[in-house]
A and B are shown apart, each in its own frame.
Chain A
Amino acid sequence: MSEFDVSRRRVLKTGAIAGAGVALPTIFTASSAAAFTNEPTGGTVTLGFNVPQTGPYADEGADELRAYELAVEHLNGGGDGGMMNTFSSKALQGNGILGKKVEYVTGDTQTKSDAARASAKSMIEKDGAVMITGGSSSGVAIAVQGLCQEAGVIFMAGLTHSNDTTGKDKKANGFRHFFNGYMSGAALAPVLKNLYGTDRVAYHLTADYTWGWTQEESIAAATEALGWQTVNKVRTPLAATDFSSYIAPVLNSGADVLVLNHYGGNMVNSLTNAVQFGLREKVVNGKNFEIVVPLYSRLMAKGAGENVKGIHGSTNWHWTLQDEGSMAFVKSFGTKYGFPPSQAAHTCYVQTLLYADAVERAGSFNPCAVVEALEGFEFDGMGNGPTLYRAEDHQCFKDVLVVRGKENPTSEFDLLEVVEVTPRAQVEYAPDHPMFAGGNLGSCNPGA
């Protein structure tokens, strides 16, 4: 039996030498080998798809994930290429990104900011994701965008409609293709004027969180500019399910238009309740009572069923569009999955291609090079007409659709019809517009 002389001094010495030895390679790799966070070094590059896989928007998340998988397939040269064939930029060759095969990891946002940040962090730190994309809520988008800015990776937002995402909470590493509340107001106002006139009294029911507030502000400003009055703006709890007690006061308010600044389950329930209470049959101030849902989603419209018929709203994209890009995407998606894509799927697919294209044009995965390539980028062929990624706030400017719940749907997907394609010029605004004030884009962060 041997004996060891284990003194305190000896343990400390050994520990210090061993610690320095273990730390040395990490110091080298961190400071000199990588120029930016998660620089791809092998034959693959990893993208992080952060979508709601559980929680109230899980169906939208599933559709987003389908779109991402389709985009990866197309980027790697599989399938029919989809929108890569119609995209005005021809940098993408179907051989991955910069010759590296595209791989992906997924995270579950649960439509909760903390869970979304945790899953994004895990994909960045453990899986080496060089770009994070996805989400179906503005709260989540703003939280993850902030994380990506700190971590030094690019964030390509999914479905987020709050003005704040590219307003007071904008970040240099974050980009939004989806439209916003201001654009909804600007697109809807002329249509509402033509349909309902300029002498109207509006009553707003608004989901009590960042998206609801900015949409309410945008729609109220746009309709008041027409000459409408806003008689009341009532905030409803996000967790509310039965809106009857909020609908009942509308009946005696003197309002002749109800604006539902609700999304998801809130929209389904508030619209259903409003129709149940006979609002659409009412005549107030000598005019037919009208309901407006500023942000429409086909997946949500399905939940509201017949109640959406004839009700107007806005949307980022719709599968019935007849431009080359939309038709190519619907064909690819429909052939692979058997049903047409949602607007959430569209924006996520486009964001993935836009990121890949920017990397190809920049010749680098470095976030600062990608930011430079995307800022001020003009493109076409992605379903929304000529589009600009504005440098000042990283918001895409493109045509916006005004839609209406279809009276006689021919299939379970045929729920909305496009009433008007509002031209991009009509929904543009100055970077320092008061509704978007208070934020600072800052400078790009490459991390590492």
Chain B
Amino acid sequence: MDAILLQILNGLDKGSAYALIALGLTLIFGTLGVVNFAHGALFMIGAFCAVTLQRILNLSFELVDESQKDFLGNPLKVKTPYVEAWFGPDIGGSIIDWAVPLAILFAIPIMIGVGYVMERGLIKHFYKRPHADQILVTFGLAIVLQEVVKYFYGANPIQTPAPDALNGVVNLGAAIGMDIVYPVWRVVYFFFAVLIIGGIFSFLQFTTFGMVVRAGMADRETVGLLGINIDRRFTIMFGIAAAVAGLAGVMYTPINSPNYHMGMDFLVLSFVVVVVGGMGSLPGAVLAGFLLGVLESFASMNEIKSLIPGIDQIIIYVVAIIILLTRPRGLMGRKGVMED
């Protein structure tokens, strides 16, 4: 029982990342009609916003300490972060320690800016082109972006830890007399994802801006005829979708050390999530994200693997095939989306 609950938690946790990325993908597809294969790269750029802030906070000045030697036997250059010199070791150390949560604030404007530039600079020229062209150009863009990141940050994973206070484990089953030990940061990640998803839905549901965007998603032409500049709003939505992917990336860094390839690792899975959820359906993307995350976790259990060897590697695609055969529009797909 403990093992099953643990895998459900794991699945919700994985599903959080899938859902956040798929939500952004669906927002872009639903508003602009663009299949954005560079969306995984936005997740990766978000993660590297956290890495960048960590490096900024660790910017140091060097003092030569004659009493210590470096690996070549020369006097050691001792590095002291400016933040610690300015605010003292305690406060400065805490600021560095909380680099990842602080990176949320750092990443939001950067990601909105990246999204805006990406949409205005490249993707808008492909609105009227076939989906195949959009896929090719955005996939190419994803490769360029990851190579740029690799050039500046290298190919190896870079450790970006959570704050010490959120680095341990918590027994989630203590209240019911069970032993379900789970990493604190993963619990934080799940609630963060729920908060972001709730925020996006509320924004679309309860604001005038959101209402116009939803109207535009339903019938772009009519909204345009009413004199509303829907393109501008859609561009802003692209920026918001980029920020969602970026924040998912920022908060993911303590779970797995980020590397330049992490966006590609999530991209294909997230597309499967979007297709399973139903193209253009925001609730479908979220539901499918969590569903596939949980199924993927269960498929990794030894009991399941002993019954069907290798199932952990193909479960998501098997589920996608079954759902598309039984519900061709996905779990919550709307009629007319991606259909001639």
Q: Does B10 contact A334, Cβ atoms closer than 8 Å?
A: no
In the assembled complex, which residues on chain A have CB atoms less than 8 Å from the CB atom of B6? 248, 251
Are B186 and A303 in contact (CB-based, < 8 A)?
Answer: no
Chain B residue numbers with a CB within 8 Å of A55 are: 155
- Per-residue contact bits, chain A 223-245, to B (CB 8 Å; 1 contact, 0 not): 00000000010100101011011
- Are B156's CB and A302's CB within 8 A? yes
Q: Which of B72, B156, B261, B313 contacts A237, CB < 8 Å?
A: B313
Cβ–Cβ contact A241 & B3, under 8 A: no
Question: Nearest Cβ in chain B — how far from A328, in angstroms?
Answer: 12
Number of A-B residue pairs having CB atoms within 8 Å of each other in the complex: 125
User: Which residues on the B side are within 8 Å of A249 (C-beta)?
Assistant: 3, 300-302
Instruction: Chain A residues near B72: list those with CB within 8 A.
Output: 330-331, 334-335
The bracket for how many chain A residues form the interface is 35 or more
For residue B76, which residues in chain A have a CB less than 8 angstroms away from its CB? 411
- Roughly how many angstroms separate A58 CA and B152 CA in the complex, as a whole number? 13
A241 touches B161 (CB 8 A): no
Residues of A within 8 A of B68 (CB): 410
Interface residues of B in 232-261 (CB under 8 A from A): 255-257, 259, 261
Contact: A272 with B256, CB < 8 Å? yes
The answer to whether A276 and B185 touch across the interface, beta carbons within 8 angstroms, is: yes
Q: Is the CB of A248 within 8 A of B154?
A: no
Most interface-central of B7, B70, B262 (chain A CB within 10 A): B70
- For residue A278, CB closer than 8 A to chain B, the reply is yes
Chain A residues lying within 8 Å of B161, measured Cβ to Cβ, are 305-306
- 0/1 string, B171-209, CB within 8 A of A gives 1: 000000000011101100000000000000000000000
Q: Does B84 belong to the interface (CB within 8 Å)?
A: no
Given the known inter-chain contacts A245-B296, A251-B6, please indicate yes or no for A234 contacting B256, CB distance below 8 A.
Answer: no
Report yes or no: B257 in contact with A268, Cβ–Cβ below 8 A. yes
Q: Is the pair B255, A252 in contact by a Cβ cutoff of 8 Å?
A: no
- A446: interface (CB < 8 Å): no
B157: contacting residue among A278, A303, A319, A334, CB under 8 A: A303
Mask, B9-36, CB within 8 Å of A = 1, is: 0110110000000000000000000000
Whether A299 sits at the interface, judged by CB under 8 Å, is: yes
Kindly state whether residue B305 has any CB partner on chain A within 8 Å: yes
Query: B181 to chain A: closest CB distance in Å?
Result: 5
Partner of B156, one of A278, A299, A331, A410: A299
Q: Is B150 an interface residue (CB 8 A)?
A: yes
With a cutoff of 8 Å between Cβ atoms, the chain B residues found around residue A330 in the complex are: 71-72
Contact B156 A241 (CB under 8 A): no
Measured CB to CB, the nearest residue on chain B to A269 is B256
B297-A303 in contact (CB<8A): no
Asked whether A303 and B3 contact (CB < 8 A) given A244-B10, A269-B257, the answer is no
Q: Is the CB of A281 within 8 A of B169?
A: yes
Majority DSSP secondary structure for residues of B touching A: mixed
Assess the A242–B256 pair: CB atoms within 8 A: yes
The answer, yes or no, to whether A115 is at the interface (CB within 8 Å) is: no
Asked whether A377 is an interface residue with its Cβ less than 8 Å from the other chain, the reply is: no
B265 close to A (CB within 8 Å): yes
Docked Cα-Cα span, A300 to B7, in Å, equals 28
Query: B156 to A242, Cβ gap below 8 A?
Result: no
Shortest beta-carbon distance from B163 to chain A in Å: 13
Residues on the B chain within 8 Å of A146, using CB:
none
Contact partner of A277 (CB less than 8 A), chosen from B183, B256, B302, is B183
Residues in B neighbouring A57, C-beta threshold 8 A: 155
Measured CB to CB, the closest approach of chain B to A68, in angstroms, equals: 18
Question: In the complex, which residues of chain B have a beta carbon less than 8 angstroms from the beta carbon of A378?
Answer: none
- Nearest chain-B residue to A304 (Cβ)? B159
Q: Which residues of B contact A246 (CB under 8 A)?
A: 300
Please, which residue of chain A has its CB at the minimum distance from the CB of B171? A278
Residues on A with beta carbons closer than 8 Å to the beta carbon of B300: 245-246, 249
A59 adjacent to chain B (CB < 8 Å): yes
Question: Is the CB–CB distance between A319 and B10 below 8 Å?
Answer: no
The answer for the CA separation of A358 and B256 in the assembled complex, in Å, is 45
**Known contacts A55-B155, A302-B159, A305-B161; A234 and B265 CB within 8 A of each other:** no
Chain B residues within 8 Å of A335, by CB: 72
Chain A residues, Cβ within 8 Å of B154: 58-59
CA–CA, A307 to B162, complex, Å? 12
A234 touches B169 (CB 8 A): no
Contact between B156 and A303 (Cβ–Cβ < 8 Å)? Answer: yes
Cα separation A413 to B71 with both chains bound (whole Å): 9
| Nearest B-chain residue to A412, judged by Cβ | B79
A residues near B261, Cβ cutoff 8 Å: 56, 265
Partner of B181, one of A245, A251, A320, A339: A251
Q: Which of B140-163 contact A (CB under 8 A)?
A: 147, 150, 154-159, 161
Indicate if A82 sits at the interface (CB-CB under 8 A). no
**Residue pair A234, B305 in contact (C-beta under 8 Å):** yes
> Does the CB pair B158–A245 fall under 8 Å?
no
The answer to whether B2 has its CB under 8 Å from any CB of chain A is yes
Q: Are A303 and B181 interface neighbours, CB within 8 A?
A: no
Q: B14 near A244 (CB under 8 angstroms)?
A: yes
* A239-B265, A276-B255 given; A244·B186 CB < 8 A: yes
Neighbouring A residues of B70 by C-beta, 8 Å: 411
CB-CB contacts of B304-335 with A at 8 A, as 1s and 0s? Answer: 01000000110000000000000000000000
Interface flag for A294 (CB, 8 Å): no
Q: How many Å from the CB of A54 to the closest CB on chain B? A: 8
Instruction: Please name all residues of chain A whose beta carbon is closer than 8 Å to the beta carbon of B159 when the two chains form the complex.
Output: 268, 272, 302-307
Shortest CB distance A111–B (Å): 10
Q: Which residues of B does A touch, CB under 8 Å? A: 2-3, 6-7, 10-11, 13-14, 68, 70-72, 76, 147, 150, 154-159, 161, 168-169, 181-183, 185-186, 255-257, 259, 261-262, 265, 296-297, 300-302, 305, 312-313
13 contacts between A and B (CB under 8 A): A56-B259, A241-B265, A244-B13, A244-B186, A244-B297, A249-B300, A249-B302, A269-B256, A273-B255, A303-B157, A304-B257, A320-B71, A330-B72
Question: Closest 3 interchain pairs by CB?
Answer: A305-B159, A58-B155, A303-B157
Q: Which of A's residues lie within 8 Å of B, judged by CB? A: 54-60, 232, 234, 237, 239, 241-242, 244-246, 248-249, 251-252, 265, 268-269, 272-273, 276-278, 281, 299-300, 302-307, 319-320, 330-331, 334-335, 339-340, 410-411, 413-414
